Amino acid sequence: MPKIQGHCLCGQVRYSSSQDEPAMIAVCHCPDCQRQSGSAFSTNVLVPTDSITFEGESRSQFVINGASGQKVIRNFCSNCGSPLTTELPAFDNLAAVKAGTLEDSSWVTPTIQIWCDTAKTWSVLDESIDKTATNPG
Ligand SMILES: [Zn+2]
Ligand SMILES: [Zn+2]
């Protein structure tokens, strides 16, 4: 069973990655992640975009320009609204898998917090891991 696989809330969209070891596990406090998650931050497991395959006809994409000026492609389920992955062409062609959608996320340990400049005052930051003000350098 692939380590990095998951599905949306309604179960119509499933994904898996051929890569078991993430490049990074990052908590993101950017305003876009706050809005699309409806929460204070998103927890992202980063793997190469081309390592991910999707199943399910209700997968939709929302494309927006990121802080880099390049496209950020957010994959979600148009039936239940769950965010699943975010493709980041400007960031080594990595994709951010939304950790809350993994089948098993018990192994997930964030190693960095990014976009701390826009962290919500009501979200408690883990002071023991690296932090960046905006995107990691
Ligand atoms: Zn769904
Ligand atoms: Zn973000």
Which ligand is closest to the CA of 55, given by its number? Answer: 1
Task: For residue 52, report the distance from its CA to the centre of ligand 1, in Å.
Answer: 17
Task: For residue 37, report the distance from its CA to the centre of ligand 2, in Å.
Answer: 10
What is the torsion angle, in degrees rounded to the nearest 10, for the CA atoms of residue 126, residue 131, residue 135 and residue 137? Answer: -150
**How confident is the model at residue 137, as a pLDDT?**
74
Task: For residue 46, report the distance from its CA to the centre of ligand 1, in Å.
Answer: 21
Which ligand is closest to the CA of 9, given by its number? Answer: 1
Task: For residue 123, report the distance from its CA to the centre of ligand 2, in Å.
Answer: 15
In tens, the pLDDT along 68-87 reads: 889 999 999 999 999 999 99
In tens, the pLDDT along 11-54 reads: 999 999 999 999 999 999 999 999 999 999 999 999 999 999 99
In tens, the pLDDT along 92-132 reads: 999 999 999 999 999 999 999 999 999 999 998 888 999 99
On average, the pLDDT of the chain sits at: 96
**How confident is the model at residue 117, as a pLDDT?**
96
Angle 42-48-52 from CA coordinates, rounded to 5°? 85
52 within 8 A of 61, measured Cβ to Cβ: no
Q: For residue 68, count other CB atoms closer than 10 A to its CB.
A: 12
Class of domain 5-117: alpha beta
**How confident is the model at residue 51, as a pLDDT?**
98
Task: For residue 9, report the distance from its CA to the centre of ligand 2, in Å.
Answer: 21
Task: For residue 11, report the distance from its CA to the centre of ligand 1, in Å.
Answer: 5
109, with CB counted inside 10 A (0-12, 13-18, 19+), is exposed
Which ligand is closest to the CA of 117, given by its number? Answer: 2
Which ligand is closest to the CA of 81, given by its number? Answer: 1
